[in-house]
A = this chain, B = another copy of it.
Amino acid sequence: MTDYTIRRARRHDIGAIVHMLADDQLGATRDDPGNLDPYLRAFDDIDADPNQLLVVAVAEGEPVGTLQLTIIPGLARRGSLRGQIEAVRIRADHRGSGLGTGIMEWAIDESRRRGCSLVQLTSDISRTEAHRFYERLGFTPSHTGFKFKL
């Protein structure tokens, strides 16, 4: 079991996070750690918004896992909050270490602490291994996730 700390991401973590986003079958074509400017601008927006929590799991001083939790207020379900998880990544050399479970359980617990009634995420249909992982954590694949690229 890896020894790690989960904390809010800071500006100097962005390079490591973008490397994790790009080191991925689907992210490789979409993300580029060679130019961090657009990521740093996005980080400032995320960091200024109290409903956004970008976190990193740190091992031996380095970010080796990340996810973003967004708290969404809504009317449905008697005006309840929902927690939404995006951009879950574990650095290749830390997969299978329990870190994925740890960071996801952190996000579920944080959603509960903030009074959410539901946690949700979507996962590309090609990520069958990830789907089994989410089901083991207690998630139900009850929905179809639709995307529309602009």
Contact = CB atoms under 8 A, between A and B. Distances in A.
A124 to B, nearest CB: 6
Given A142-B124, A142-B125, A145-B141, A150 B76 contact: no
A92 interface: no
Contact of A77 (B31, B131, B140): B31
B147 A42 contact: no
B49 A73 contact: yes
Interface residues of A, number: 64
A73 B122 contact: no
Interface string A93-127: 00000000000000010011000111111111100
Nearest to A135: B146
B73 A46 contact: yes
A1 to B, nearest CB: 23
Nearest to A120: B147
